[in-house]
Structure formats: structure tokens, C-alpha cells
Amino acid sequence: MLFTVNGEPRTVRAYPMERLLDVLRLDLGLTGTKEGCGEGECGSCSVLMDGALINSCLVPALQAAGTRIVTIEGLAAGENLHVLQQAFLESGGAQCGICTPGMILAAVSLLNAKPTPTVEDVREGLSGNLCRCTGYGQILEAVMEAARRRIVA
Ligand code: FES
Ligand code: FES
């Protein structure tokens, strides 16, 4: 199938019902996208598909054909981290890191829709993403800080 991943056209041989998560990790080596539950509950496998946040463990390759996918590897510009990556790093919003790529992509999706979110908006925007380590406080702080920096930038 042919699709665009992080701005590059990519062709892979995949079974139609192969999970997009496996295509990304195993066929393309993009292991930043994580598997948590494997059944649509935790958000660890979140990526953007044509700008919408999706759980890649639930999307078959067939459905991803012809789309534009953005994974965590597509956010930094060379050595420069994305504002959300930097804010997560500084606030301690990433600990074991399993939820982090999905959290950051959920936050990208949220800030694209609501550039000046309230804490409640952030809570709601990240409600599909579970974290077992941080207690969520640092994650909320990171997203609010990234929103502030984007306003200033
Ligand atoms: S691994 Fe996809 S939602 Fe948990
Ligand atoms: S940092 Fe470990 S699950 Fe969130």
C-alpha cells in the first residue's frame, strides 16, 4: 500500500487487516508509537491520520492506504524538539515513556483545535490516553506550558 508517513511517501507490503500499529513499528521501524492495551483503551498507539487522532491498534492497513500519517518521529525538526516534546521533557511529563508519544500526539491534536485551552480542555483532550506513572499533573502542566509558549512564539 502507498501512504504518506511524516511527510514522506512510503510503500509497504501489508495484509489488508494488518494493524497500522504493526505496519509502523515492524515494517517501517517507527517504534516511537507504542502498544499498551492493543484494544483501543489506552491511547499509547495514537497517531494522526489526515490530521485526526486515531488509535493505530484499531486501524487496518487497508484503511490507512492513501492517508497522511504523523507519528511521534515526525514532530521534531532535526535536532529541535517540538514545543510539546520540550515541555514534557522539562516538566517531568514523561517517566517510563510508554504513554508519552500518544499523549503528545493527542496534545498536538488538541492544540490544533484549541490553541488556548483551559485545564479542563486539556483534561478532556487527553481523556483517551492513560498514564500509569505520572499522576497526570505534570502532563497537564506540560500541555499548558506548550500552549503558553506557542502563544508567545
Ligand atoms: S494500544 Fe492502542 S489504544 Fe491501547
Ligand atoms: S509515563 Fe509511564 S505510562 Fe505514562
In this structure, which ligand is nearest to the CA of 38?
Answer: 1
For residue 153, the model assigns a pLDDT of 59
Question: Which tens digits make up the pLDDT trace of 26-84?
Answer: 999 999 999 999 999 999 999 999 999 999 999 999 999 999 999 999 999 999 999 99
133 lines ligand 2 (CB under 6 A): yes
Question: Which tens digits make up the pLDDT trace of 60-70?
Answer: 999 999 999 99
137 lines ligand 2 (CB under 6 A): no
* pLDDT over 90 (residue 136): yes
CB 56 within 8 A of CB 46: yes
Atom of ligand 1 nearest to the CA of 57: 2
4 lines ligand 2 (CB under 6 A): no
Query: What average pLDDT score do residues 71-99 get?
Result: 96
User: Which CA distances in Å does 10 have to 23, 45, 87, 148?
Assistant: 11, 19, 30, 35
The Å distance, Cα 133 to ligand 2 centre, comes to: 4
* pLDDT over 70 (residue 122): yes
Report the chain's mean pLDDT, rounded to a whole number.
96
Given the DSSP bridges, would you call strands 68-70 and 2-5 parallel, antiparallel or unpaired?
A: parallel
For residue 151, the model assigns a pLDDT of 80
